[in-house]
Amino acid sequence: MEENNVNDKYQTTMSTADQPAAELDIERTRAAQAQALQNPHNGHQREHHGHALAGILGPAFVAAVAYVDPGNVAANITSGARYGYLLVWVLVLANAMSVLIQYQSAKLGIVTGKSLPELLGERMHDAGRFMFFMQAEVIAIATDLAEVIGGAIALNLLFGLPLFVGGLVIGAVSTVLLWFQGGRTHRLFEKIVIALLLVITFGFIFGLFIAPPNPVDVLGGLVPRFTTTDSVLMASSMLGATVMPHAIYLHSTLVNDHYAPGEKKPTVRQLLHGSKIDVAWALLLAGSVNVSLLIIAANSLHGMAGTDSIEGAQHAIVSVLGPVVGTIFSIGLLASSLSSTSVGTYAGSEIMHGLLRIKAPMWACRVVTLVPALVVLWFAPNPTQALVVGQVILSIGIPFAIIPLMRYTHDRKLMGEYVDGTAKHMVFMLVTALIVALNVLLIVLTVLGKA
Query: How far, in Å, CA of 223 to CA of 175, rounded?
Result: 43
Q: In this predicted structure, what is the pLDDT of residue 95? A: 92
So what's the pLDDT on residue 384?
A: 67
Q: What pLDDT score was predicted for residue 450?
A: 67
Say how far residue 448 (Cα) sits from the centre of its chain.
31
The tens digit of pLDDT for each residue in 158-182 reads: 999 999 999 999 999 999 998 888 7
What CATH number is associated with residue 102? 1.20.1740.10
| CB-CB contact of 118 with 354 (8 Å) | yes
C-alpha neighbours within 13 Å on the C-beta side of residue 389: 15
Contact 222, 92 (CB under 8 A): yes
Question: Residue 316 domain-assigned?
Answer: yes
Contacts of 311 (CB under 8 A, 6+ apart): 153, 156, 157, 384
Residue 173 within any structural domain of the chain: yes
d(CA 204, CA 154): 13
197 within 8 A of 343, measured Cβ to Cβ:
no
- The alpha-carbon radius of gyration of the chain (Å, integer) is 24
pLDDT at 49: 41
Low-confidence residues of the chain, pLDDT below 70? Answer: 1-52, 240-241, 384-385, 387-389, 391-392, 450-451
Number of structural domains (the chain) is 1
Residue 42 lies in a domain: no
Strands (E), 329-426: none
23 within some domain: no
Show Cβ contacts of residue 378 under 8 Å, excluding neighbours closer than 6 positions. Answer: 164
Crossing angle of helices 229-240 and 422-447, rounded to 10°:
120
Distance CA(287)–CA(266), nearest Å, equals 29
**Structural domain includes residue 322:** yes
Helix (H, G, I), strand (E, B) or coil at 247: helix
Q: For residue 245, what are the CA distances in angstroms to 1, 101, 196, 218, 251?
A: 33, 11, 21, 30, 10
Domain annotation covers residue 44: no
2 domain residue, yes or no: no
Beta strands in 209-311 (DSSP E): none
Please tell me the predicted confidence (pLDDT) of residue 441: 78
- Whole domain around residue 189: which residue ranges? 51-447
- For residue 194, give the amino acid letter: I
Q: What is the reported pLDDT for 391?
A: 67
Cα separation values, 172 from 87, 361, 369, Å: 37, 15, 13
In a domain, 39, yes or no: no
User: Are 261 and 113 spatial neighbours (Cβ–Cβ below 8 Å)?
Assistant: no
